[in-house]
């Protein structure tokens, strides 16, 4: 086998990893190169992979314990994999079609997510990723001082709460047969995370708020928080902080949820899109 190659795809983040077959058992040298590329580039991509669900899970577990999603059931034989589906006939929006960080409503949000394309559209359905290191670094010194000690409240209630069912059906297609989502009162639980997070492996600072799950600053009202949060949400997804990935059959994307946000484009009307996602459990943000 040729040596693993890492080819960056943009100036902000993202790289393709070549000459690796994820269906095989990776040796320690191969794994370490992939892990370092992941830390260096924040999101890495693999092409032309032919993976069973079991092989997908095995590769993901090399990076840590896998998370079982509270509101989206996994595959019967592989509960660690959630199916992310939009069918050709679905009329509502797609799953993930808003800037977000996966499961930040948990005390221990995700380390990373590995999304594998099982059936992708002929065109459309790209995913955009944004670098939260850059989002923090490019802030003014004054704003950095303002948010340095702030904490923010995260909750799944805006998406999975009982009273959000109809809104979520319209916005995310959760009511269609394609996605079998549970809504519940436990989604209203709240957790507090620092607004500026220190990455546990790189030591770098990044912004850690997102439009889907962050509702207000701790100790502030929703109204008081709204203006600054809106600025941070918009700032975090500036085009020059991003990269864009075009899916092909058998592609995999692996992103670092500790310092990346992502957005799934909903521009593949009339096509099926079937993906499987594994999520690695992370640690408590500091």
Q: How far apart are CA 245 and CA 264, in angstroms?
A: 10
- Catalytic position from the list 69, 151, 258, 262: 262
Which of 67, 69, 90, 102 is labelled catalytic? 102
CB atoms within 10 A of CB 2: 7
d(CA 208, CA 220): 17
Instruction: Please give the DSSP secondary-structure letter assigned to residue 177.
Output: T
Q: Are 126 and 247 in contact (CB under 8 A)?
A: yes
Active site residue 154: no
Q: CA-CA distance, 256 to 131, in Å (whole number)?
A: 10
Nearest Cα to Cα of residue 173 among 89, 57, 79:
89
Catalytically annotated residue among 154, 193, 258, 277: 277
176 is catalytic: no
Calpha distance 248→210 (Å, rounded): 28
Out of 56, 69, 100, 197, the active site residue is 100
- Distance from C-alpha of 160 to C-alpha of 188, rounded to nearest angstrom: 8
Q: Residue 253 class from Cβ within 10 Å (0-12 exposed, 13-18 middle, 19+ buried)?
A: buried
* CA distance readout (Å), 203 to 27, 199, 244, 259: 27, 5, 26, 11
**Active site includes 102?**
yes
Which DSSP helix (H) or strand (E) runs through 233? Answer: helix 222-236
Is 262 catalytic? The answer is yes
Q: Are 83 and 275 in contact (CB under 8 A)?
A: yes
> Which residues are designated catalytic?
100, 102, 262, 277
């Amino acid at each position: 086998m040729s040596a693993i190659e890492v080819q960056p795809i943009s100036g902000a983040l993202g790289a393709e990893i070549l000459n690796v077959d994820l269906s095989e058992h990776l040796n320690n040298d191969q794994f370490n190169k992939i892990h370092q590329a992941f830390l260096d580039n924040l999101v890495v991509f693999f092409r032309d992979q032919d993976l069973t669900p079991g092989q997908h899970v095995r590769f993901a577990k090399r990076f840590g314990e896998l998370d079982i999603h509270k509101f989206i059931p996994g595959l019967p034989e592989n509960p660690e994999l959630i199916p992310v589906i939009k069918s050709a006939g679905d009329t509502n929006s797609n799953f993930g079609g808003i800037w977000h960080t996966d499961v930040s409503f948990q005390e221990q949000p995700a380390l990373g997510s590995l999304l594998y394309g099982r059936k992708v559209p002929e065109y459309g359905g790209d995913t955009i990723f944004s670098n939260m290191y850059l989002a923090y670094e490019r802030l003014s010194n004054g704003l950095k001082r303002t948010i340095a000690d702030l904490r923010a409240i995260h909750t799944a209630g805006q998406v999975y709460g009982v009273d959000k069912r109809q809104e979520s059906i319209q916005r995310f297609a959760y009511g269609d047969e394609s996605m079998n989502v549970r809504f519940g009162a436990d989604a209203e639980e709240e957790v507090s995370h620092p607004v500026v997070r220190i990455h546990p492996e790189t030591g770098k600072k990044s912004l850690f708020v997102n439009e889907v799950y962050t509702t207000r600053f701790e100790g502030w009202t929703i109204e008081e928080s709204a203006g600054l949060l809106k600025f941070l949400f918009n700032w975090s997804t500036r085009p020059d902080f991003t990269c864009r990935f075009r899916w092909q059959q058998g592609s995999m994307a692996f992103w670092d949820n500790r310092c990346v946000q992502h957005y799934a484009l909903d521009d593949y009307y009339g096509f099926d899109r079937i993906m499987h996602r594994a999520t690695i459990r992370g640690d408590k943000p500091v």
